[in-house]
A = this chain, B = another copy of it.
Amino acid sequence: MKKITIHSPATIANLVCGFDILGLCLEEPYDRMELKMNDSGKLMIKSLGAHSLPEDPLQNTAGVALLELMAQVSPETGFDLTITKNIKPGSGLGSSAASSTGAVVAANHLLSNRFSREECVRFAMQGEKLASGVKHADNVSPGIYGGITLIRSIFPLDIVPVDYPPLFVTVVHPQIEIKTSDARQILRQQVQLRDAIRQWGNIAGLVTGLMRGDYALIGRSLEDVIIEPVRSILIPHFDEIKKAAREAGVLGGGIAGSGPSLFMLSADRATAAQAEEAITAIYNRIGLEHHSYVTTINPQGCRIISES
């Protein structure tokens, strides 16, 4: 019975101006997953760790993703999956995507990588559909490709890895709950053309800045005039936090995914640590429980730890 252990990392979708099209993969936090292949034709899931998940495959984002993959292989192929969930569901850090990508990448490895990365994204997107009702790919793509990915289009699926310079990421997760579906519902379905134009200037600037390693351009482009003004009202002290982080020297940042976590990008680790200090000081002052990380971009995505 072949067996594999994998670390499946947190991811940040949207990246300020890149709503629904950009995502990046973090070094930390990550889930730990163990997958064993057998010939039962069945999928069994066990949930461990700080956050318990449904063990019914049809109610579990890793489950529905694996079932989608299993439909493409011989019917006797079965799996035992154990998920040690460290990335809190509803954090905005791609917890559901970490489950589905980790399971799919692990299964694909046990099946001698017969599926392409793009096919793995398609399987994993089933998990996103279960989690949020929308088959989005801006968490699962960076989870599978690593680094920063552009999802140019969902239909047809077109994933483009984007080059980037060294970046350090401050992540702060206030312990409040925002449902992805709620965060989506408050968005206006129509936007002003002039705002859309400003947004696409920023997106083009951000991608150009990332590819060229132009930190100043990255900083100028990290502006969101469409989504952030609406969603930031759900996040306590958002404006004050952004101001404090800018003063600490970050390039910019905003809401991670649909929140409530926040992230800030910096050109060096010391600045990222100063931003963490500045933000946690605000949450300590108002007595809001939170977790924070200073981490980097994970260039690889899901990482195989051991196999036998």
Residue positions of A touching B, CB distance < 8 A = 17-22, 150-153, 158, 160, 162, 187-194, 196-208, 211-212, 217, 220-221, 226
Q: Which residues on B sit within 8 Å (CB–CB) of A226?
A: 193, 196
Q: How long is the Cα–Cα vector from A193 to B203 in the complex, in angstroms?
A: 15
Q: Which 8 A-B pairs have the closest CB atoms?
A: A152-B205, A196-B196, A152-B201, A21-B201, A190-B190, A200-B203, A204-B207, A20-B197
B204 in contact with A204 (CB, 8 Å): yes
Q: Which residues on B sit within 8 Å (CB–CB) of A204?
A: 18, 21-22, 150, 152, 160, 162, 203-204, 206-207
Q: A200-B21, A204-B207 are in contact. Are A160 and B217 (CB under 8 A)?
A: yes
Q: A205-B150, A205-B158 are in contact. Are A21 and B197 (CB under 8 A)?
A: yes
Q: Which residues on B sit within 8 Å (CB–CB) of A158?
A: 201, 205, 220
* Sample (26) of A-B pairs whose CB atoms are under 8 Å apart: A17-B200, A20-B197, A21-B200, A21-B204, A150-B204, A150-B208, A151-B201, A152-B201, A152-B217, A152-B221, A153-B201, A153-B202, A160-B208, A189-B194, A190-B190, A190-B193, A191-B192, A193-B226, A200-B200, A200-B203, A203-B203, A203-B204, A204-B207, A208-B211, A211-B211, A211-B212
CB distance from A203 to the nearest CB of B (A): 5
Residue of B nearest to A194 (CB): B189
CB distance from A205 to the nearest CB of B (A): 4
A152 in contact with B202 (CB, 8 Å): yes
Quick one: copies of this chain in the complex?
2
A196 in contact with B198 (CB, 8 Å): no
Residue of B nearest to A163 (CB): B212
Q: Which residues on B sit within 8 Å (CB–CB) of A200?
A: 17-19, 21, 196, 199-200, 203
Q: A152-B204, A205-B158 are in contact. Are A193 and B199 (CB under 8 A)?
A: no
Q: Which residues on B sit within 8 Å (CB–CB) of A212?
A: 211
B201 in contact with A193 (CB, 8 Å): no
Residue of B nearest to A205 (CB): B152
Q: A160-B208, A187-B193 are in contact. Are A198 and B153 (CB under 8 A)?
A: yes
Q: Which residues on B sit within 8 Å (CB–CB) of A151?
A: 201
Q: How long is the Cα–Cα vector from A152 to B191 in the complex, in angstroms?
A: 19
CB distance from A210 to the nearest CB of B (A): 9
Q: How long is the Cα–Cα vector from A47 to B94 in the complex, in angstroms?
A: 62
Residue of B nearest to A22 (CB): B204
Residue of B nearest to A153 (CB): B201
B19 in contact with A197 (CB, 8 Å): yes
Q: Which residues on B sit within 8 Å (CB–CB) of A20?
A: 197, 201
Q: How long is the Cα–Cα vector from A190 to B197 in the complex, in angstroms?
A: 11
Q: How long is the Cα–Cα vector from A197 to B20 in the complex, in angstroms?
A: 7
Q: How long is the Cα–Cα vector from A158 to B202 in the complex, in angstroms?
A: 10
Residue from A162, A187, A202, A203 with most neighbouring chain B CB atoms (10 Å):
A203
